[in-house]
Amino acid sequence: MAQTDNTLLLAIDQGTTSSRAILFNTQGEICGLHQQELALSYPQAGWIEQDPEAIWRDSLQVCRAVLQETPSALTDTVAIGITNQRETTVVWDKESGEPVYNAIVWQDRRTAAVCEQLIAQGKEAEVSAKTGLLLDPYFSATKIAWILDNVEGARERAEAGQLLFGTIDTFLLWRLTEGQVHATDATNASRTLLMNIATAQWDDELLALFNIPRSMLPEVRDNVASFGCTAQSLLGVELPICAMIGDQQAALVGQACFDKGMIKSTYGTGCFMLMNLGAEPVASKQRLVTTIAYQLNGQTTYALEGSIFVAGAAIQWLRDGLSMFKHASESEAMAQSLAGNNGVYFVPALTGLGAPYWRPDVRGAIVGLGRDTTSAHIARAALEAQAYQTRDLVTAMVADLGTAPAVLRADGGLVANQFVCQFLADILHLQIEVPAVTEATAWGAASLAGVGAGVFAGTEDIASVWQKQHDYMPQMLSDEADTLYDGWQQAVRGLIGG
Ligand code: ADP
């Protein structure tokens, strides 16, 4: 590793619930952090939007704040890495920079019928073979088409080359470089349904299928690349943007899962488990998705991913929708106050079910309610659901690959909850490792920016920084875990039929 005593790396972590700017030193320690909560709007059932101007304003403001408040940050920061909520779609005017519609958030289900139609036309096999994904409204393509078809004049303007598309990485980059750079990275591109993951290039047949003009699309680059510099007027310094990477892939990097077979699971708004597949993609038979884990020096590494739409969002819903508590962390004491779940299960399909069920049409349910059920049972059921959903994914991965993992590295806002971590270990019969760098996603982006800036030689240097903070070992008898999991499976079957 190069001599880097005072070197700082800035991560912009634009997530679903908040925008953060975090300054790391080269040991992965946080030297400064600013965060701004981001609102979601729900204009109709199943629709979820965010204001792109708020995303931009907040991201810029947290960067300015952290650079100003952290001593010598303006001189010691050498590079920026951007990581972002994936799939969320923005379309804007190339000249004015104005978005033509709100950002359509990844959880949005408005294009479920379009996806069903394409599935009924027999298109899913061909789309999956190229993209590694499934025909689900989760991914960007149908969201882009929706904007073009529903915003007056948008399709004509797009066809005339006047509109640009970007996921949040691209939108922020375009704004940070004052419209100089319209680019994305291979991981974000791999979530659009428009890229062939074997070639890591946009695919004309897919563009035709979803009716999206190629001129709207950003250039696809490696995760570590020259993405341009921030305009002087924005941050007071021109900082090079050396890395961009989708949030879940960033967590895989931040958790140093660089060897084939290593798994991380991130518990934020949703829960996303990624297993490193190495250089060869594996097509899932269990309705997981195959995606690009990272692309460095033109070499693509793939991952198998299980995507669950609602994880921490269920706790947020208990807080905001049911006013059950003021802080998400209060759910832990509520769950711990009980000896067991009393047969209460919460299937948190608040925006449909993701992997391995892929049922955008179903909605959540709480089952097993009795006269003795209290809010603590419901809080506990929401936390337990994190582990049951994870077991669904691990079961699918084991079925796909034929090998069981030895350990799971967990991160994200929810791992602050010790009940969740212990229950994960119990239900999965697996060792759960929580890293010392709790902001694994941001660190993933920052550390790759460090590679771009020459601070780190490569992934080996990032791996040497990773440290475990805590282990959770299984304490429950496996029979008991299996019985509890049976109850979950019954609750899910009750929702999806069969
Ligand atoms: P994202 O990156 O998706 O915005 P975070 O990783 O910041 O999400 O995690 C935030 C989510 O975690 C929220 O949905 C919140 O409800 C949940 N959360 C945070 N802390 C706790 C806790 N101690 N117990 C339970 N849930 C928590």
336 ligand 1 Cβ < 6 A: no
pLDDT of amino acid 71: 86
pLDDT of residue 74: 92
Q: What band does 351 get if pLDDT is binned at 50, 70 and 90?
A: confident
In a domain, 232, yes or no: yes
Instruction: Indicate if the pLDDT at residue 188 is higher than 70.
Output: yes
- Rama region for 165: left / alpha / beta (φ>0; ψ in -120 to 50; rest): beta
CA angle 178, 38, 88 (to 5 degrees): 65
Q: Which residue has a Cα nearest atom 27 of ligand 1? A: 414
Ramachandran region, residue 39 (left: φ > 0; alpha: ψ -120 to 50; beta: rest): beta
pLDDT of residue 208: 97
Residue nearest to atom 13 of ligand 1 (CA): 312
* Whether 291 contacts 190, CB under 8 Å: yes
Band the pLDDT of 295: cuts 50, 70, 90.
very high
Indicate the pLDDT class of residue 2, thresholds 50, 70 and 90: very low
- Kindly indicate the confidence band of residue 26, based on its pLDDT and cuts at 50, 70 and 90: very high
Residues in CB range of 290: below 8 A, 6 or more apart? 132, 133, 197, 277, 281, 282, 283, 284, 302, 303, 304, 305
Name the band, by pLDDT with cuts 50, 70 and 90, for residue 3: very low
> For the chain, how many structural domains are there in total?
1
pLDDT at 1 over 60: no
- For residue 15 and ligand 1, the question of a CB distance below 6 A is answered with yes
471 within some domain: no
Separation between Cα atoms, residue 269 and residue 279, nearest integer Å: 29
Residue 415 Cα to ligand 1 midpoint, Å, equals 8
Provide, rounded to the nearest whole percent, the portion of the chain with pLDDT above 90.
94
387 lines ligand 1 (CB under 6 A): no
Does the residue 494 lie in any domain?
Answer: no
Q: How many of the other CB atoms lie within 10 Å of CB of 237? A: 13
Kindly report the protein residue whose alpha carbon is nearest to atom 7 of ligand 1: 413
Cβ–ligand 1 contact at 412 (below 6 Å): yes
Going by alpha carbons, the residue nearest to atom 8 of ligand 1 is 268
Residue 210 lies in a domain: yes
Is the pLDDT reported for residue 291 higher than 60?
yes
Choose the residue to mutate in 269, 310, 380 for probing ligand 1, maximizing ligand atoms within 8 Å of C-beta. Answer: 269
Q: Give tens-digit pLDDT for 411-465.
A: 999 999 999 999 999 999 999 999 998 899 999 999 999 999 999 999 999 999 9
Residue 35 is assigned to a structural domain of this protein: yes
Question: For residue 313, which atom of ligand 1 is closest to its CA?
Answer: 14
Q: Which of 480, 430, 24, 463 is nearest to 265 (CA)?
A: 430
Q: Using 50, 70 and 90 to split pLDDT, how confident is the model at 57?
A: very high
The closest residue, in CA terms, to atom 17 on ligand 1 is 312
The residue nearest atom 22 of ligand 1, judged by CA position, is 329
* Per-residue model confidence (pLDDT) at position 126: 95
| Rounded (5°) CA angle 85-434-248 | 20
pLDDT tier, 398 (very low <50, low <70, confident <90, very high otherwise): very high
Whole-number average pLDDT of the chain: 95
Distance from residue 316's CA to the centre of ligand 1 (Å): 8
Angstrom distances, CA of residue 373 to CA of 62, 80, 341, 488? 42, 49, 9, 17
For ligand 1, say whether the CB of 16 is within 6 Å of any of its atoms: yes
Kindly report, residue by residue over 275-285, the tens digit of the pLDDT.
999 999 999 99
Residue 288 lies in a domain: no
- Determine if ligand 1 sits within 6 Å of the CB of residue 265: no
Candidate from 18, 315, 334 with most ligand 1 atoms within 8 A of CB, to mutate: 315
Is 382 part of a structural domain of the chain? no
Residue with tokens 């990477």: 245
Six-digit token string for 252: 């895989």
Protein residue with its CA nearest to atom 14 in ligand 1: 312
pLDDT at 182: 98
Site to probe by mutation for ligand 1, drawn from 350, 414, 420 as the one with most ligand atoms within 8 Å of Cβ, is 414
Map tokens 């020259």 to a residue.
226
**29: in domain:** yes
* CA neighbor of 188 nearest in space, from 163, 219, 167, 211: 167
Mean of pLDDT values over 247-265: 96
**Does residue 108 have its Cβ closer than 6 Å to ligand 1?**
no
**Alpha-carbon torsion (44, 46, 51, 52), positive or negative:** negative
Is residue 358 very low, low, confident or very high in pLDDT (cuts 50, 70, 90)? confident
Say yes or no: CB of residue 14 within 6 Å of ligand 1.
no
| pLDDT one-digit tens code per residue, 112-160 | 999 999 999 999 999 999 999 999 999 999 999 999 999 999 999 999 9
Band (pLDDT 50/70/90 cuts) for residue 5 is confident
Tell me, in angstroms, the distance from the centre of ligand 1 to residue 255's CA: 18
**Local confidence band at 170 (pLDDT 50, 70, 90 cut-offs):** very high
**Residue 319: which region, alpha, beta or left (left: phi > 0; alpha: psi -120 to 50)?**
alpha
- CA of 17, closest atom in ligand 1: 4
CB atoms within 10 A of CB 416: 14
The verdict on the CB of residue 168 being under 6 Å from ligand 1 is no
SS3 annotation, the chain: CCCCCCCEEEEEEECCCEEEEEEECCCCCEEEEEEEECCCECCCCCCCEECHHHHHHHHHHHHHHHHHHCCCHHHHEEEEEEEECCCCEEEEECCCCCECCCEECCCCCCCHHHHHHHHHCCCHHHHHHHHCCCCCCCCCHHHHHHHHHHCCCHHHHHHCCCEEEECHHHHHHHHHCCCCCCEEEHHHHCCCCCEECCCCEECHHHHHHHCCCHHHCCEEECCECCCCECCHHHHCCCCEEEEEEEHHHHHHHHCCCCCCCCEEEEECCCEEEEEEEECCCCCCCCCCEEEEEEEECCEEEEEEEEEECCCHHHHHHHHHCCCCCCCCCHHHHHHHCCCCCCCCEEECCECEECCCCCECCCCCEEECCCCCCCHHHHHHHHHHHHHHHHHHHHHHHHHHHCCCCCEEEEECHHHHCHHHHHHHHHHHCCEEEEECCCCHHHHHHHHHHHHHCCCCCCHHHHHHHCCEEEEECCCCCHHHHHHHHHHHHHHHHHHHCC
pLDDT of residue 360: 80
CATH of the domain at 194: 3.30.420.40
Give the dihedral of Cα atoms 419, 303, 252, 330; nearest 10 deg.
-20
Q: Which domain holds residue 176?
A: 8-246
Atom of ligand 1 nearest to the CA of 315: 16
- Ligand 1 atom 19, closest CA: 413
Of 347, 194, 245, nearest to 14 (Cα)? 245
Indicate whether residue 17 lines ligand 1 (CB < 6 A). Answer: yes
Question: Is the minimum distance from the CB of 417 to ligand 1 under 6 angstroms?
Answer: yes
- pLDDT band for 321, please (50, 70, 90 cuts): very high
